[in-house]
Amino acid sequence: MKDIRKNIRYLMTPGPVEVSPRTLKALSSPVTHHYSSEFIEIFQETTEKLKKVFQTKKDLIIMQGEAVVGLEASVANILDPGDRVLVLDNGPYGAWFGTYVDNHGGEVVWLKEDYTKAIDPEMVKEKLEKEKNIKAVTLVHMDTPVGITNPVESICRAAGQFEVLTIVDTVAALGGMEIKPDEWGIDICICGSQKCFSSPPALAPISISKKAWETMEKKKKPLRNTYLSMLDYRETWIKNRTFPFTPFVSEVYALNESVTEILEEGLENVFARHKKVARAVREAVEAIGLKLWPESKEIASDTVTAVRVPQGIDDQELRRIMVEDYGVLIAGEVPGLKGEIFRIGHMGYSAYMDNALVTIAALEKALQKLDFPVKTGSGVQKVLDYF
């Protein structure tokens, strides 16, 4: 097979991320029939383990597809034509929810914020007081392109006062940062396998509240017999231990193993590890002489560090040097902000201090080759201080 990775030794992107040897081994296990008793057992086991990571007792389904299928389904399953949805937009993925609402016949009510800032819960409350007949609020826990964490708990509690549904994209945070759907009042909480779970991109675990199920049932035409139907998952898997179609057998093996690794480490330990690595990377970036994209460290993500591209530096050339000369792949390609941001992913199996050290060293060297004034070892020392 062609060498896909070539000289990539460290995959430090915001997803997909590096997959552990244990998970890769599980992925390569022999495929079995999806209605064999062994597979039914492992699917059930995976679901129960996911509930522990989600910290939820609500129903949980595993949609078969990249996380985007869950994000679109969350909107498609609850909207009737003309329904109004408050879309919180302080990043490209936050704005993306507006596209789903529009595509499925809803009316978008925007609450926009600068892409360097978090959403203020008071602004959400004021908007809901002003606007009438809002059916749902959509928001992103951690908007990957800009590395900003929104105060999900406060926003959802504010929305709960108005009895609107809350739909949260926590694709790039859950499994690396604290989130509690039950306590915080999240009705539909969507995740993805390829981020903090460190599994291949293929599955979208989602927790769903009783209120959300009731809303889906009350649609003028409930969404059924389609790839996006959450009700089909409930009728088949939750009620009858069957499937609406053939599940991704091998990817379920992999997700089961990656979630097992998280639970073995312990959620609190996992969260602490992500937080520590994130702080080290942020401090190292600033020591080098670069500026973070978020307006403050308080809203910066524990899973992705977004950095402003310094004046006079070509971000594509910077990233090319890092991967070709030092084997470290980071990310750019931010929709609408091309050439303004580069991003270092430190989530899941990539969120370890040795990976951060190599990444910062490669960043220093690449910047020096581009004649950016870097004090040699300044960033590296900041990471070493955390060892």
DSSP 1-21: ---SSTT--EE-SSSS----H
- The pLDDT tens digits of the residues spanning 28-77 come to 999 999 999 999 999 999 999 999 999 999 999 999 999 999 999 999 99
10 φ, ψ (degrees, to nearest 5): -130, 115
* Neighbouring-strand partners of residue 304: 345
Average pLDDT, integer, range 191-216: 98
The terminus-to-terminus CA distance of the chain in angstroms comes to: 38
Q: Sorting pLDDT into bands at 50, 70 and 90, what band is 106?
A: very high
Query: Which pTM value belongs to this model?
Result: 0.97
Q: Among the three residues 206, 232, 263, which one is the final residue of a domain in this structure?
A: 263
Which residues have C-beta within 8 Å of that of residue 185, sequence separation ≥ 6?
A: 156, 157, 159, 160, 166
Q: How many structural domains is the chain composed of?
A: 2
* 193 and 288 both lie in a single domain: no
Q: Among the three residues 212, 245, 263, which one is the final residue of a domain in this structure?
A: 263
323 has pLDDT over 90: yes
2 has pLDDT over 90: no
Report DSSP letters for 237-298, one per residue. IIHHS--SS---HHHHHHHHHHHHHHHHH-HHHHHHHHHHHHHHHHHHHHHHT--BSSSSGG
Q: Which percentage of the chain shows pLDDT scores above 70?
A: 100
CATH of the domain at 370: 3.90.1150.10
* 242 and 288 both lie in a single domain: no
Residue ranges making up the domain that contains 173: 31-263
* 216 and 326 both lie in a single domain: no
- Yes or no: say if 366 and 309 are a contact pair by the CB < 8 Å rule: no
- The pLDDT tens digits of the residues spanning 346-375 come to 999 999 999 999 999 999 999 999 999 997
Query: Nearest Cα to 215, choosing from 155, 157, 167?
Result: 167
* 242 and 326 both lie in a single domain: no
Give residue 26's pLDDT: 98
Q: Which residues of 191-205 are buried (b: 16+ CB within 10 A; e: fewer)?
A: bbbbbbbbbbbbbbb
Q: Among the three residues 229, 263, 297, which one is the final residue of a domain in this structure?
A: 263
* Neighbouring-strand partners of residue 331: 343
